[in-house]
Amino acid sequence: MFPQKVNILGVGVSAINMKTTLDIVDKWIKAKTPHYVCITNVHVVMESQRDEQLRRILNTAGLVTPDGMPLVWVSHFNGLKNTRRVYGPDLMLALCEHSQTKGYKHFFYGGADGVPTKLEDNLKRRFPSLIVAGVYSPPFRPLTEHEDRQIIEMINQSKADIVWVGIGAPKQERWMAEHVGQLKASVLIGVGAAFDFHAGLKKQAPRWIQKSGLEWLFRLASEPRRLWRRYLINNPLFVWLILLQMLGLKRYDLEQNP
């Protein structure tokens, strides 16, 4: 089951909401077919303008969720009115709650040392019937082939249905695309900062700020030295390129070749 997509600067963003996302995940797990999900915002779309391989990875994904409100607004402009924001941290909570009755097993791959364990503890307190098949915090350096094989074997032995990947964009998108055929899990989901949010290490923006599309400003104020370039350069450029696309002055193809 693959939903309709809207072409946003050459990235096919899925016209979905939280309910349709959960329905699609159910179908994938039932069919035991492997897919990966890219939680996509303006930053990831703009990174794909500079990196054709990343754009192909996004367009080969089972789902590219509209993580940022600008992507939702562009979807609405293109007539896809049922599109809603599918925000990574919210999707994690929704799927964990949903899994309590389904019996899905979760593996958490990512975060700094100790973070996935804190994440597991917090999620189990919130969802007592949640099944966590395993957690692992990978090193920040590139893995050796031997280490990579060990990780694949570890995750496969856990018999996880869903693997949450929290190693930051676009690294997590590349990791999922490389491992989706090697892991037995039906669903890989790259959620980045959701690990830190739900482990209690970082604060999320208030809900009203999220809905207003100003979450970027909240995050910029929280981590200005790390995020200033992402938001103060990428955001205005995104708006300019979207205007050109909407006016038909610039066209983008959806490249889907792996």
| Alpha-carbon distances, residue 98 vs 12, 48, 55, 105 (angstroms) | 27, 32, 30, 11
Q: What residue spans define the domains of the chain?
A: 5-198
Q: Are 151 and 136 in contact (CB under 8 A)?
A: yes
pLDDT of residue 202: 87
Query: Each residue of 46-77: pLDDT tens digit?
Result: 999 999 999 999 999 999 999 999 999 999 99
Give yes or no for residue 205 having a pLDDT over 70: yes
Find tokens 């090697």 and name the residue. 182
Burial of 228 (0-12, 13-18, 19+ CB in 10 A): exposed
Give yes or no for residue 162 having a pLDDT over 70: yes
Q: Are 14 and 61 in contact (CB under 8 A)?
A: no
- Segment 182-200 shows an average pLDDT of 96
pTM of the model: 0.93
Q: If you ran DSSP here, which 8-state letter would residue 247 be given?
A: T
pLDDT of residue 226: 81
Q: How far apart are CA 98 and CA 198, in angstroms?
A: 17
Q: Are 54 and 212 in contact (CB under 8 A)?
A: no
CATH of 5-198, one of 3.30.1560, 2.40.10, 3.40.50, 2.20.28: 3.40.50
Give yes or no for residue 255 having a pLDDT over 70: no
| Size of the chain in residues | 258
pLDDT of residue 257: 39
